Amino acid sequence: MHITPSLLYQDTQEIKRISVTIPCSFYFQSGVRDFTLDIVRNLTSLPDQWAFRFQTIVDELCNNAIEHGSKGEGELCLTLYVLPTQWLEVVVEDMGYAKGVKAQRLTEIVEEKKRLADAQVQGLRGRGLGRIVAKWTDELSFHDRPTGGMMVKARKYIPS
Amino acid sequence: MTTPIEIHFRKDLLDTPDLFVMVVEFRGEMDESNIDDAATQVYKIIDESPQGASFIFDFEALGYMNSKSIGYLSDWFSKVVEKGGILSITGAKENINDTLTTVGLDNFIKMYHSVDDAKLALLPLGDAGGQI
């Protein structure tokens, strides 16, 4: 098992970008959550509630990428964009080793989950994207990558 | 390789010897790497408990729950209720409280600050105080 650390801190004028490439294994998610918590706390003015919420948002997006986009193979790329006092955005990209659903279908599934009442969401799955990530972000979008796989973007505008 | 999670359980007597509650302590984090195995342990505890047994899930030492673990929590609640018992949660940290509230589980699982508060609520004329 190899970890390919690729930590890029790029301060281009105002937007701060931090990108990490990690193996597609659930084992590394604990470290990714800790990393996310620290980044949100240190680079934004968001209160701790939102730092923890982004911990969950990143975890859910990465879990989906690992389970549906990679089947445990290869790597995924997590990028956090911060425009201080304006917005925070998470982008997760998988390389498409698994034949997962396409972006259009995933968009439809999430919209269906959002419309359900809490009591209607049965079963073990189905809460991550549609009930948690969608509620806690202002923009959530799915995009098919030209070279395969999917890119998911989740953005939260920081209240002034 | 999995994120560390420990599950410990004990049987605590309440006011009288025939009144008891199963206290299940969760220590660590529940995420995609460990939740299926952790769930197997909890199902076993519930399945092997007497009919009508009530449960307190002590989350004081639990640092994280992902959405799949919340799905299991919903199912554990159903199984405890099917057997005639009550399931309550104690000591949940703010982040876990926040997630459980977001998905609406707080509408049907009672949450308390401490195990003692939850036990008090289980007594025949129990005070509902201490509920979050």
Q: State the SS3 of chain B.
A: CCCCEEEEEEEEECCCCCCEEEEEEEEEEECCCCHHHHHHHHHHHHHCCCCCCEEEEECCCEEEECHHHHHHHHHHHHHHHHCCCCEEEECCCHHHHHHHHHCCHHHCCEEECCHHHHHHHHCCCCCCCCEC
- To the nearest whole Å, the CA of A19 is away from the closest chain B CA by 22
Which of B64, B71, B103 shows the shortest C-beta gap to A125?
A: B71
Residue B76 near residue B43, CB atoms below 8 Å: yes
Q: Region B105-114: what's the mean pLDDT? A: 94
pLDDT at A115: 76
DSSP-derived letter for residue A26 is G
pLDDT of amino acid A159: 86
Q: Kindly state whether A56 is in contact with chain B, defined as any CB-CB distance less than 8 angstroms.
A: yes
Q: Looking at CA atoms only, how far is residue B53 from chain A in angstroms?
A: 23
Q: Does A75 touch chain B (CB under 8 A)?
A: no
B38-88: pLDDT as tens digits = 999 999 999 999 999 999 999 999 999 999 999 999 999 999 999 999 999
Which residues in chain A show pLDDT less than 50?
Answer: 1-8
d(CA B109, CA A36): 29
Residues A127, B107: C-beta atoms closer than 8 Å: no
Beta-carbon neighbour count of residue B44 at 10 Å?
12
pLDDT band at B116 (very low <50, low <70, confident <90, very high): very high
Contacts of B72 in chain A (CB under 8 A): 124
For the entire predicted model, the pTM comes to: 0.89
CA distance A104 to B122: 49
Residues 6+ apart with CB under 8 A from A25: A1, A66, A72, B1, B33
The one-letter amino acid at A82 = V
Average pLDDT of span B14-38: 93
Contacts of B99 (CB under 8 A, 6+ apart): A56, A132, B65, B70
Identify which of A147, A113, A155 has the alpha carbon closest to the alpha carbon of residue A130. Answer: A113
Cα separation of B34 and B22, whole Å? 22
